[in-house]
Amino acid sequence: MTIIVTGGAGFIGSNFIFHMLGKYPDYRIVCLDKLTYAGNLSTLAPVMDNPNFRFVKLDICDREGVYGLFEEEHPDMVVNFAAESHVDRSIENPEVFLQTNILGTQVLMDACRKFGIQRYHQVSTDEVYGDLPLDRPDLFFTEETPIHTSSPYSSSKAGADLLVLAYYRTYGLPVTVSRCSNNYGPYHFPEKLIPLMIANALNDKPLPVYGKGENVRDWLYVEDHCKAIDLILHKGRVGEVYNIGGHNEMRNIDIVKIICKALGKPESLITFVTDRKGHDMRYAIDPTKIHNELGWLPETKFADGIQKTIQWYLNNREWWETIISGEYQNYYEKMYGNR
């Protein structure tokens, strides 16, 4: 089995590669990544010498390059993690989000049609559903919840989802889509909430929290997400959308306080900043479908997962410090300059 994993030098993609190579030692994994600011090749250092792993620096929007790779590798499956994913950046520059997240997805599916594929899997987000009110804890996103996007980022992901499902209906392309709640864990890029707060707290810097920090997110440990995608690839029904959620709803402010306590830092470091434009209040996923059909349940309680995550950042300071300094972007040249 050969699987092309796009965006595999990013947070969730890299964790997925580690999971798959660990669980299926006879699978060949080909990672395609453009290495934008959020793609970090040093993350993949543990598998770079694995004979069943190949890294290719490529933009999913590069049709000629993608077709060439498919011709070389003849993949059985494609898992598309490649996406611009930071909401604040999408508000500043929507165009690049539409380019990568929609047109890049189209290029990948056209390649799948041309060269044949057993499964194309689109990794999406719960943000396509918009948000839920804080005063209705009984409401959850299901696969039937109408799409109602809030940001250019979530709009681009929703557009990609609709395109994927249209390729299934129009061309019979064997596709699946997963929409996941917020992930956390090792190798999370330090601009996101949890790693940013850990890094800033360790450096005694202010901890910037939007608004009053009352926004609620459903948090899922990244390893549990990877296991869910693995299940969908092998057992999921073609043409279906699966919601993946952790039943771990937390207010942003409470997460920041947990991090302060774990690191022995004062809560006086918390600084409230002007809220994000169109900031969603609450996300909450109902994962009943994936549980009933595929038997998946999250295995990691938030209390355990957040401690494991904090410990990982303590043990791997060099990884995130090189990102904060900008040095990580030179890693590709160092790795491949003499290859």
- The residues annotated with a catalytic role in the active site are 126-127, 153
- Residue whose entry in the numeric block shows the structure tokens 């590798």: 73
Q: Where are the beta strands (DSSP E) in the chain?
A: 2-6, 28-33, 53-57, 77-80, 119-125, 175-180, 182-184, 207-210, 216-221, 241-244, 249-251, 270-273
In terms of DSSP bridges, do strands 249-251 and 216-221 run parallel, antiparallel, or are they unpaired? antiparallel
User: Among candidates 26, 291, 212, 3, which has minimal Cα distance to 123?
Assistant: 3
Measured in degrees and rounded to the nearest 5, phi and psi for residue 333 equal: -65, -40
Enumerate residues 6+ apart whose C-beta is below 8 A from 138: none
Angle between helices 193-202 and 302-315 (to 10 degrees): 50
Enumerate residues 6+ apart whose C-beta is below 8 A from 304: none
What tokens appear for 91 in the block?
A: 């508000």
CA distance 14 to 9: 5
Enumerate residues 6+ apart whose C-beta is below 8 A from 98: 152, 156, 159
